[in-house]
Structure 1
Amino acid sequence: MFNPSRCLFNCSAHDSYTFQINPASGDHPGHLDDFKFIGRCLGLAIFHRRFSEAYFVVSLYKMILQKEVALADLECINAEIYSRMIWILENDMTNVIGVTFTTTEEQFGNTVTIELKPGGARIPVTEKNKREYVKCAIDYYISKQVKEQFDAFMSGFNDLIPQNLITIFDEHELDLLINGMSNIDVKDWQTFTEYQGYKLTDEVIQWFWKCVSGWTPERKCRLLQLATGSSRVPINGFQDLQGSDGPKQFIICRSDDPSQLPKGNPRFNRIDLPWYKDYATLEHKLTLAVAGTTEPGTLPTHL
């Protein structure tokens, strides 16, 4: 599946062992038949309860489950485009000219302009419509750019696994269903962890490792997914953990708002951990973050 000579998948923007569908796979004859075959193989593996070690980006799992993708999912696909979308959302577009509902990409050696919506080349991006523009970009780069390949993959997958049976899972559970759980050595994890704003001897850090050490393998994997985007531990352990620009160790970074949940940042293999007042609060907040839930009265951030 992942042999570079087949051109079916690319490495994610974060590491060298999580994969996404290659939009340029059409350079390889018969690529759609290959994707249908791969879908059947994964479906067959799930049916027989065998693990595949097919580590995909989170957005691909969401697409399999027919779940809505979000801006955060774009970061694993194209870090440069993700950064551009963040800039547009955080800055006033009133006096910015030359940005329209289009994007450019290389196709067979030529640069082509793609309209993100009908007539997009004639629609300037303004402060009023910039969120729509970002939504269109997310949809294009995550879904539309690989629609043919994904549809072929799902055709094979659904030959074995009916869609109504798979949608009971969330994207993290589907990852574990396909790949199984890594055997996570917490002592190794702790050995190759860096701290920003914290020291190893800080009470919050001691509470963190105490909490993680007592967790089930599944919950440990979900914490790793939250912080790195993948539940996989490299063959040589955490010393070989990869980031978007090469080797990057796991990082625990101090956040000073104890009302917030810990927040993962897969681009930097980092979790932002507030300075909680006691162990019970840390355990509660970290469990909620790993479960992908929110505190009562708060809403998840989506576009």
Structure 2
Amino acid sequence: LDVRYQGEAAAGDALRREWFEQATAEMVDPRRGLFLASQDGLRPNPHSASSAGEDHLSYFALLGRICGLALYHRETVGVAWSHAFLKAVFGYPLSFDDLASVDPALHQSQRTLLAMPAEDLGAMCLCFEVDGDEAVIYEESSKRRRATELKPGGADEPVTAANVEEYLRLYAQHKLLGAVEPQVAAFRAGLAVFLDGRPFASLRTCCTVQLLLCGEAAIDVDDWERHTRYDPPEYAHSRGVAWFWRAVPAERAQLLFFATGATRPPATGFASLMGYRGAEQRFTVACIGGGATGRLPTASACFNRLYLPEYCCEAHLRAKLRLAL
């Protein structure tokens, strides 16, 4: 792609880069009604047809082409996309926890089902069917309202302690994808014009896609460290923590996603990092002792928590951290 502006002599990659960012910014302008802002980026507006007109899907396809062309040329578009949207576009399975980035309150409310005693869960009389205004479909013949089954025969399958995880996964998929499936499909079709199956397969994580499309957001490691908690608190002064923070700058983007599920820090800094309950949830480094030096670091992204074994040396910590990421 060679970009030149009429009446200007300038040419080169800088103009192409500028065009990608300006074209994308114009299409995702809130006044167009194609996208909505969620906690971790933009996601399709389920009511884009009423906002942008009957040609709304062609806009999603065009934007997909622009993003595909940007990936082809290894340029960025300067827009942060919702993690759930990217997962849907690239065919990664959506999980229940993906709902938290779009509606933290709903995610937390539904999450209580996991800890509910079997008897109480049965008393709720839930089935694999979604009822309510968002799930209503109008049949053209009779204009009757009917609910949506989350799986074939779902209306006749009760939710129990044995299948509640499946129910929550399908519920999240319905909420995240059900109402915007045409928009996602149009965007994907546009993207595929410039990306065949081989590049698609090489983009193994949504974090990779986000970094390639948007570039690495400025991650202030000093601010991150200032607003970190430790478990136990005295672990803050250990040599392992000192080694950890020396390793962070080289792995900051991947580490942020691994430990928090976010591809970019909060706009107001790490003091504003939120958990899935919508309340402040500071990043926490928890010490794993007991001779667990052979284990990899793990994380509870729901709680912005990194579990770091006590390693024997800095080189070992860096190697294990890189392998975990």
TM-score (norm 2): 0.72
Given candidates 191, 197, 215, the residue that maps to 1:180 is: 215
The aligned residue for residue 116 of structure 2 is 91
| Structure 2 residue 256 is matched with structure 1 residue 221 | no
Give runs of aligned pairs for residues 159-198 of structure 1, distance below 5 A.
159-171=193-205, 172-198=207-233
Given candidates 137, 143, 165, the residue that maps to 1:131 is: 165
Comparing 80-89 with 219-228, greater Cα deviation is found at: 80-89
Any idea what the Cα deviations from partners look like across 1:115-169, whole Å, max 9, x if unmatched?
2123433322123333332332233223333211101111211122223322211
Partner Cα distance (1:89, 1:108) in 2? 23
Comparing 204-213 with 229-238, greater Cα deviation is found at: 229-238
Given candidates 121, 124, 131, the residue that maps to 1:104 is: 131
The one-letter code sitting in structure 2 at the alignment partner of 1:189 is: W
| Structure 2 residue 42 is matched with structure 1 residue 19 | yes
Q: 1:247 to 1:3 in 2, by over 3 A?
A: farther
The aligned residue for residue 289 of structure 1 is 324
Any idea what the Cα deviations from partners look like across 1:1-37, whole Å, max 9, x if unmatched?
443333322333xx3x522223333332232122112
Partner Cα distance (1:112, 1:204) in 2? 57
Comparing 69-78 with 168-177, greater Cα deviation is found at: 69-78
Comparing 68-77 with 28-37, greater Cα deviation is found at: 68-77
Any idea what the Cα deviations from partners look like across 1:167-190, whole Å, max 9, x if unmatched?
211122111111122343422332
Where structure 2 has 5 or more consecutive residues not aligned to the other structure, the ranges are 1-26, 138-144
The answer as to whether partners of 2:126 and 2:159 remain within 8 angstroms in 1 is yes
Greater helix proportion? 2
Comparing 52-61 with 250-259, greater Cα deviation is found at: 250-259
Q: 1:105 to 1:239 in 2, by over 3 A?
A: same
Q: 1:247 to 1:18 in 2, by over 3 A?
A: farther
The one-letter code sitting in structure 2 at the alignment partner of 1:166 is: F
Any idea what the Cα deviations from partners look like across 1:277-302, whole Å, max 9, x if unmatched?
53455434422332xxxxxxxxxxxx
Q: 1:40 to 1:113 in 2, by over 3 A?
A: same
The aligned residue for residue 208 of structure 1 is 244
The answer as to whether partners of 2:61 and 2:188 remain within 8 angstroms in 1 is yes
Any idea what the Cα deviations from partners look like across 1:242-266, whole Å, max 9, x if unmatched?
6667795751242546646444444
| Structure 2 residue 40 is matched with structure 1 residue 8 | no
Where structure 1 has 5 or more consecutive residues not aligned to the other structure, the ranges are 291-303
Give runs of aligned pairs for residues 219-258 of structure 1, distance below 5 A.
219-233=251-265, 238=270, 248=280, 250-254=282-286, 256=288
Partner Cα distance (1:26, 1:196) in 2? 49
The answer as to whether partners of 2:100 and 2:276 remain within 8 angstroms in 1 is no
Cα deviation for residue 53 of structure 1 reads: 2.0
Fraction of identical pairs, as percent: 27
The one-letter code sitting in structure 1 at the alignment partner of 2:170 is: C
Q: 1:72 to 1:284 in 2, by over 3 A?
A: farther
The aligned residue for residue 293 of structure 1 is none
Q: 1:151 to 1:192 in 2, by over 3 A?
A: same
Please identify the structure whose Cα radius of gyration is greater.
Answer: 2
The answer as to whether partners of 1:181 and 1:221 remain within 8 angstroms in 2 is yes
The aligned residue for residue 32 of structure 1 is 57
Q: 1:279 to 1:212 in 2, by over 3 A?
A: farther
TM-score (norm 1): 0.77
The answer as to whether partners of 1:32 and 1:149 remain within 8 angstroms in 2 is yes
Count the aligned residue pairs: 282
Q: Which has the higher contact order (CA 8 A, sep 6+)?
A: 1
Any idea what the Cα deviations from partners look like across 1:14-67, whole Å, max 9, x if unmatched?
x3x522223333332232122112111211222222211221233333333322
The answer as to whether partners of 1:105 and 1:112 remain within 8 angstroms in 2 is no
